[in-house]
Chain A
Amino acid sequence: DGGITQSPKYLFRKEGQNVTLSCEQNLNHDAMYWYRQDPGQGLRLIYYSQIVNDFQKGDIAEGYSVSREKKESFPLTVTSAQKNPTAFYLCASRNSGRTDTQYFGPGTRLTVL
């Protein structure tokens, strides 16, 4: 059963704590993406990676970090430097060069208490 999995579905953290969101795909896609979605807003790109061991900042990278050590995994760390981290986080993947293959995971809702 191919797809993208994100865990956990819901996450709560206290202010000042770092937290890592998991994203795994078994679609053999080269590229992976992290987006943030706030109420009433579209998706904003945080980081993306088109190949293992390489990644680029998106439009709102401040306060976030990523790694891409394996093709199927692209974890996102929300650091304490992110001023407003409460949001819905979405991971996506696709084949490089194939815009029509971008698929999303189910998302993680992060709430900072």
Chain B
Amino acid sequence: QKEVEQDPGPLSVPEGAIVSLNCTYSNSAFQYFMWYRQYSRKGPELLMYTYSSGNKEDGRFTAQVDKSSKYISLFIRDSQPSDSATYLCAMESGNTGKLIFGQGTTLQVKP
């Protein structure tokens, strides 16, 4: 079993839809949770960062962490075609300096 599980999709939604992306994990020591966005043939860019449980909002993006369920989510409101990309979740325990990544979910937002 992988430490971090993420449905690879693809996920296709119409423009304006609310998108929900999720990851589950097995290591209860994870404390730092990140979402990266990766456009085709580019390096990932950090989208959201959360420490421990709770919600964090940044514009159209909301990250949620539920440590009791070992489940994290990224919500995208009013999705745009420019949001079409692969979204990777990543986690770290303590300050090991080592991120563990999910497989990535490919999202397509259709105009």
Q: Which residues of A contact B (CB under 8 A)?
A: 4, 6, 31, 33, 40-45, 48, 50, 58, 88, 90, 94, 96-97, 99-100, 102-107, 109
Q: Please, how many angstroms separate the alpha-carbon atoms of A38 and B87 in the complex?
A: 15
Interface assignment of B92: CB less than 8 Å from any CB of chain A? yes
- B42 contacts A107, C-beta separation under 8 Å: yes
Q: Report A108 CB to chain B, min CB distance, Å.
A: 10
- Which applies to chain B's interface (DSSP): helix, strand, loop or mixed? loop
Q: In chain B between 69 and 111, which residues have their CB closer than 8 angstroms to a CB of chain A?
A: 88, 90, 92, 95, 97-99, 101-104
Interface assignment of B62: CB less than 8 Å from any CB of chain A? no
On chain B, which size bracket covers the interface?
20 to 34
The 5 closest A-B pairs by CB, nearest first: A42-B101, A104-B43, A100-B49, A99-B32, A43-B101
Query: Given the known A-B contacts A99-B34, A100-B46, are A42 and B97 also in contact in the complex, defined by CB atoms under 8 Å?
Result: no
Q: Which residues of B contact A (CB under 8 A)?
A: 4, 6, 8, 32, 34, 36, 41-46, 49, 88, 90, 92, 95, 97-99, 101-104
Residues on A with C-beta less than 8 A from B101 are 42-44
- B34 contacts A109, C-beta separation under 8 Å: no
B6, B45, B46, B90 — which one has the most chain A CB atoms within 10 A of its CB?
B46
Of B41, B49, B95, B102, which contacts A42 at CB under 8 A?
B102
Residues on A with C-beta less than 8 A from B4 are 42
Q: Please, how many angstroms separate the alpha-carbon atoms of A113 and B95 in the complex?
A: 39
- A42 contacts B46, C-beta separation under 8 Å: no
Residues on B with C-beta less than 8 A from A107 are 41-43
Residues on A with C-beta less than 8 A from B102 are 42
A41, A44, A58 — which one has the most chain B CB atoms within 10 A of its CB?
A41
Residues on B with C-beta less than 8 A from A4 are 43
Residues on A with C-beta less than 8 A from B46 are 100, 102-103
Query: Given the known A-B contacts A40-B8, A42-B6, A43-B88, are A102 and B42 also in contact in the complex, defined by CB atoms under 8 Å?
Result: no
Q: Report B89 CB to chain A, min CB distance, Å.
A: 9
